[in-house]
Amino acid sequence: MTIHKEGRTLLFVLLLVFVGIIWVSDYYFSDVVRNIIIGVSAIFYLIVLQFFRNPVFTVSKNAKHVIAPADGKVVVIEEAEEPEYFKGKRKQISIFMSPFNVHVNRMPVEGSISYYKYHPGKYLVAWHPKSSTENERTTVVAKMNNGTEVLFRQIAGALARRIKCYVQQGQKLEQGQEFGFIKFGSRVDIFLPLDATVKVNIDDVTKGGKTVIAELS
């Protein structure tokens, strides 16, 4: 387990702030109030710290498997229109990430990036039906070695107001490799070919880089 690079500066600044607050409390508050301040500061710091945790593990790669791009809960499984890139029907699987999930985003398949676009937008709650088309988001398409393309979309939520996506068009990435990070609660949509076999159910808990969410023909 490591601390993700997106959180290191924030965690250092927070640590300095909390040390300063505790130091000031020594002079201006009673021991009881000071202990409460220390307790609240420690709890808040641990909450932020766990958000930026970055598990280290070996990915079991399989060209036919689509693995979860994020930790979270499956909230959508349906055939849906994908108007931005495919402009047609695809199988959609959506994973909601709470503030307590690991927020590293990982490649669901191996492939080269055939499309990437960032969209500014609103900050509706991530489970809102219109969040996929109206919220701040990035759209990434990976083209596999057999020509199959898989689209995945990072979507900001009411709390997640900073999406980080590290890919570039033409870049080749391995299955399970980190491609992005979303801060403080969000959602990831995956659009698959219609003949893909879905391996998860609504409300299933997923682990990014580990859970097989679908199998490709």
161, 170, 168, 119: which is closest to 143 by C-alpha? 170
- Which member of 25, 94, 131, 186 is catalytic? 186
> What is the helix (H) or strand (E) element at residue 37, kind and residue range?
helix 31-51
Q: Scanning the structure block, which residue is given the tokens 């690079």?
A: 5
Determine the Cα–Cα distance for residues 113 and 129; give it in Å rounded to an integer: 27
Supply the DSSP symbol for 127. Answer: T
Catalytic residue flag (residue 114): no
141, 107, 118, 123: which is closest to 187 by C-alpha? 123
Instruction: Give the catalytic positions in this structure.
Output: 186
